[in-house]
Structure 1
Amino acid sequence: MNLQENIKTLAQKYAPDFVEVRRYLHQNPELSFQEFKTSAHIKKQLQDIGITDFVSVAETGILATVHGHAQGETLLLRADMDALPIQEANSISYASKNTGVMHACGHDVHSASLLLCAKILFELRDRFKGTVKLLFQPGEEVMPGGASLVMKETEYQELGIVPHIGQHVQPNIPVGKVGFCSGKFMASMDELFIKVTGKGGHAAMPEHFIDPVLIASHLIVAAQQLVSRMGSPKVPSVLSFGKVCANGAINIIPDEVTIEGTFRTMDREWRKVALKKLEHMLTSIAEGMGGKCELRINHGYPYLENDKALTEEMKSSAVSYVGQDNVVSLDQWMAAEDFAYYAEKQPACFYLLGVGNEAENITSGLHTATFNIDETALELGGGLMAWLALNHLGQH
């Protein structure tokens, strides 16, 4: 039996065990940087596999090591662990037990897949040279991002420059398929917090007051010029506002309005310029209408750029594992991921694992209360990661 056949056999054999691991994690989700029980469960799973070479990183994270039979290159595989503040609406036997917390972004799947991968790698440790690092990372969903904290740890810095491979579920891709995008793949992300100040009073006498609601409405509309008229159409950019709070009433003009949103792009310099232009535009318009505007920016993750050589290698390896028809070429995606921090410093490949199944009505998007997966995806999720790692080590 060749190596690929061996991996597929083991993935099929052990996948049901790690479906149960995924269900346990799904039932017991924990928010970012609070993954204490999740971390303990993953450590126990590693020990049950036989992997005892692991250390804690970024408090709740885990960096484990699987050694081949001889020295060689090192490669890192990453999964994230945290859940989201969402109340689950699925009627399933393994629905979240924690009120208002849910694995709505598939991090339970990522961790379970990497554990299945770990099981396969450990059983095949006599068949490869080199070292595979398994990173179970906390806090992907909130800034500053667990990746940025992991990278400060001594154990991580001692790795030097090594290939990084990450996997993320995607319900828009049918189960059994995977997707790759070489080069710029995901966007940077900055959080915008705007406070518009006016002078409130009785809505029947607006001439005596400064209406921050009217100012805010002008700001929201005008700000779209940032993307449509100030940015190059060759550079992907998104400006969206998702929260507006004006605590007045039908007959009360409030003193202030707050607006929250996000700016995303795939160009480092344009990101800096755009945010400066946005601040100038907002403050100028507000002042011109008699009010004031303050913009606070939480600078988030950088854009994610997949290393072209590594990604093409991984894509080719995936084709050999699942066939050409099951490997999708992806467009750029304006979502953000803290895996981008690794990709800034390391040769990296971040790809998507299909988990959708229209026939079974498994189609809900990420970050929704009804998100779920076709659990047969776990066999491919764990097996493919093992193949990508060992095929790479074998070629280098």
Structure 2
Amino acid sequence: MTELLPRIQRLAAQYAADTVAIRHHLHAHPELSFEETQTAAFVTRELEKMGLSPRPIANTGVLALIEGQPGGPTIALRADMDALPIQETNDVPYKSTNPGVMHACGHDVHTASLLGAARILNDLKGEFRGTIKLMFQPGEERLPGGASLMIKEGVLENPKVTSVLGQHVFPHLPAGKVGIRSGRYMASTDELYLTVRGKGGHGAMPEMNLDPVLVAAHIIVAAQQIVSRRASPKIPSVLSFGKIIANGATNVIPNEVYIEGTFRTLNEEWRAEAHQHLRRLCEGLAESMGAVCELEIRHGYPYLENEPVLTARVKAAAEEFLGPENVVELDQWMAAEDFAYFSQAAPACFYRLGTRHEDGRFASSVHTPTFDIDEKALATGPGLMAWLAIKELATK
């Protein structure tokens, strides 16, 4: 097994320029969630060039198998393909050509890396036992999440997957490094939609109206007690409201106020309980003030858990490939990822790929119009993923 490590490193370096070119193509042609038709077609062509037989899944997803020597287990490698509704402001040759759409979360990097890993693994398929499923997933950025749809269509069956690996860009870590955390890593996410209805009128005659702006303000402030006083201090929880529309004027009280927010946590039991507390608080507080509050909770992704035994193997293998100094321990993160569905269905490990330049460039956060990467990360990502896959097959 150890003799494969330098071969994988050499292949990763050999294919790095091609991987960068693939990333540039994907970055220049981003597509929104569940609209990745051209991206899927491109991925399919690249896989067919390797002699593989990809097939569609979850409409705009792509699934392919690399079959090594018979008799081994099956593991899955995942990359997401969708982009975000953001207008890119970077001035680079591979800038997005689709107005208002941008690969601002690094899914172009994920897809290019998995294609690079596939190329390496396909070259070495005579050297390992078992099967590798390549899962190119649509719709990570939009509910219900492409991962859930792929699972419903049986992506983890026939043959049954024993573990799932995925990676995600991390602009806070220099290229050449990766971050890993065992156990509960990322939060569940639920979307909150509130409508507070009262009786609008002239701002100079509040006694004639029932001010929904005042009611909404009380709800927004009071709802924070669900996190500060209802949640155990041992359970990370976040309640944030990011959109408020009270379409009145300086002298006009509106009839209603519309609010959007998010609730996130790392415990499914508390998550369900918090939903009940939030509903009672919003509806009860509005009623006590003479108004009405309608709350819609759109149930989003579950929390993401890196299975400890698998994650320990991934960390050890990453240290072999990159050196211990290039593998760092991550903190919990309250962002959400639909890879969580895979982590709830099979042993899984989701790790972070450093993309920041050593001098601090390419440090813009994901989901911003200036996000970009140090493409030295594309010499790390594919090779590491291929090495992790081969090591994991060998442990079964």
Find the residue that maps to 1:113 and give its secondary structure.
Answer: helix
CA distance in 2, matches of 1:136, 1:155: 11
Tell whether the 8 Å contact from 2:215 to 2:286 is kept in structure 1 after alignment. Answer: yes
In the other structure, the counterpart of 2:134 is 134
In the other structure, the counterpart of 1:62 is 62
CA distance in 2, matches of 1:149, 1:365: 28
In the other structure, the counterpart of 2:16 is 15
Tell whether the 8 Å contact from 2:75 to 2:161 is kept in structure 1 after alignment. Answer: no
Offset of 1:156 from its aligned partner? 3.9
Offset of 1:49 from its aligned partner? 2.2
In the other structure, the counterpart of 2:118 is 118
Tell whether the 8 Å contact from 1:65 to 1:133 is kept in structure 2 after alignment. Answer: yes
Matches within 5 A, 1:1-396: 2-51=3-52, 53-154=53-154, 156-357=156-357, 359=359, 361-396=361-396
CA distance in 1, matches of 2:54, 2:40: 12
CA distance in 2, matches of 1:205, 1:344: 55
Per the normalisation by structure 1, the TM-score is: 0.98
Tell whether the 8 Å contact from 2:82 to 2:103 is kept in structure 1 after alignment. Answer: yes
- Change in Cα spacing, 1:157 to 1:287, as seen in structure 2 (3 Å) is same
CA distance in 2, matches of 1:141, 1:23: 21
CA RMSD for the aligned pairs? 1.1
Tell whether the 8 Å contact from 1:164 to 1:348 is kept in structure 2 after alignment. Answer: yes
CA distance in 1, matches of 2:206, 2:358: 53
Q: What residue ranges of structure 1 are gaps of 5+ in the alignment?
A: none
Residue 16 of structure 2 aligns to which amino acid in structure 1?
A
CA distance in 2, matches of 1:284, 1:330: 40
Offset of 1:69 from its aligned partner? 2.9
Find the residue that maps to 2:147 and give its secondary structure.
Answer: helix
Offset of 1:155 from its aligned partner? 5.1
Offset of 1:160 from its aligned partner? 2.4
Offset of 1:395 from its aligned partner? 2.9
What percent of counterpart residues are identical? 56
Residue 102 of structure 2 aligns to which amino acid in structure 1?
M
Q: Deviations over 1:98-120 (max 9, x none)?
A: 01111010000000000000010
Tell whether the 8 Å contact from 1:71 to 1:131 is kept in structure 2 after alignment. Answer: no
Q: What residue ranges of structure 2 are gaps of 5+ in the alignment?
A: none
Offset of 1:161 from its aligned partner? 4.2
- Change in Cα spacing, 1:190 to 1:287, as seen in structure 2 (3 Å) is same
Offset of 1:358 from its aligned partner? 5.3
Offset of 1:379 from its aligned partner? 1.1
Residue 31 of structure 1 aligns to which amino acid in structure 2?
L
Offset of 1:202 from its aligned partner? 0.6
Tell whether the 8 Å contact from 2:199 to 2:209 is kept in structure 1 after alignment. Answer: yes
CA distance in 1, matches of 2:7, 2:209: 75
Offset of 1:394 from its aligned partner? 2.1
CA distance in 1, matches of 2:11, 2:235: 44
Q: Deviations over 1:54-85 (max 9, x none)?
A: 22110111111111133311110000000011
Find the residue that maps to 1:367 and give its secondary structure.
Answer: coil
Residue 26 of structure 1 aligns to which amino acid in structure 2?
H
Find the residue that maps to 1:151 and give its secondary structure.
Answer: helix
CA distance in 2, matches of 1:306, 1:156: 17
Tell whether the 8 Å contact from 1:70 to 1:128 is kept in structure 2 after alignment. Answer: no
Offset of 1:360 from its aligned partner? 5.3
